[in-house]
Amino acid sequence: MSSILLYLGLLIVGGFLSYKGWIHKNLSAKIDKLQLACLFALLFVMGMRIGMNDRVLEAFAQIGLHAVLYAIFTVAGSVFMVHILLKFFGKRKEAN
């Protein structure tokens, strides 16, 4: 919970500073590249954790197929349900 609050806090602080125009323009201009660098570093570390966890590697052979099926159905169910709810109750506005 504390990490969720920390992340939320940083997001709000970053957003507030940027909204007020208090972020240096050089940093602001590079924000896309910085986001990508962080993202790839995080994905690499995430991959490392999966590779380091023997339990996961062994389990992949045993129940990997079930996990893939569960993942497919939970993702499909979520996308479908959001799509249906938007259709009946949501208002669509996706103009860029």
Partner 1 sequence: MTIKIILAVIIGGVVGFFVPDSFYAATDVLLTIGLCLLLFFVGIDIGKNKNVMRDIKRSGRLFFLIPLGVAVGSLLGAIGVGFLLGYPINESGAIGSGMGWYTLSSIIIAPYSSELSVLAFLTNVVREVFAIALIPIIAKHIGFIEAIAPSGATAMDTTLPIISRNTNGETAILSFSTGLILSTMVPILVPLFLFK
Token pair, residue 54, equals 């023997």
Q: Does 19 bind partner 1 (CB under 8 A)?
A: yes
Pairwise CA distance, residues 73 & 42, whole Å: 26
- Provide the minimum distance between the beta carbon of 25 and partner 1 in the complex, in angstroms, as a whole number: 11
- CA distances (Å), 1 to each of 5, 9, 15, in order? 6, 12, 21
Binding track, positions 24-43, relative to partner 1; x by CB under 8 A: ---xx--xx-xxx-xxxxxx
Residues 48-87 close enough to bind partner 1 by CB under 8 A: 48-53, 55-57, 59-60, 62-64, 66-86
Residue 68 and residue 62 in contact, taking contact as beta carbons nearer than 8 Å: no
Q: Does 14 bind partner 1 (CB under 8 A)?
A: yes
- Provide the minimum distance between the beta carbon of 9 and partner 1 in the complex, in angstroms, as a whole number: 9
